Structure 1
């Protein structure tokens, strides 16, 4: 159930969206060592977002996964920031990331929970 939400004030051209989503999906699966068949990526671009008093390119990410390893969040942060620097030219110091590891019974899928 790994889920990556990317919220950014940059506009991603329609032709580039599928590649960004696919790259992010593969990255999350590899990063967490989970099958990509369970990974969901949500892209919300062109949003109103002000960071550090400016509307320069910035992003807010949420990475949720069952059993998210708290000791690895610094590594996850580096990899996800690199992804956005590479893909959207957003500087790493203009990216916030929220990590969450919900209890299995609080995450639903396929008519049940994990």
Structure 2
């Protein structure tokens, strides 16, 4: 498993679910990439910043301010930034399209 998101209704459920995930991960000998882990807690539309401490005393830090978390290649935070995602996808498409055209393939292979 590469990416996982945990959703709960409140902070105590988040800690219970995170503890369960940590125990399961230890059972299957999987390690957390702590550098990639973040907590984004939203309560009544506002961001609450708190951290979670693993049994190994490592801490999962919260997202600060307008910081976004990259999940499956797309930045995510409290809102989805459609314009930013659309611009990124458009740039990737143009880059890949131009790379294919520069390969000097036969027309049949290009298509």
Q: Which has the higher strand share?
A: 1
Greater relative contact order: 1 or 2 (C-alpha under 8 angstroms, separation 6 or more)?
Answer: 1
Q: TM-score, normalised by structure 2?
A: 0.26
Q: Find the structure with the greater CA-based Rg.
A: 2
Q: TM-score, normalised by structure 1?
A: 0.25
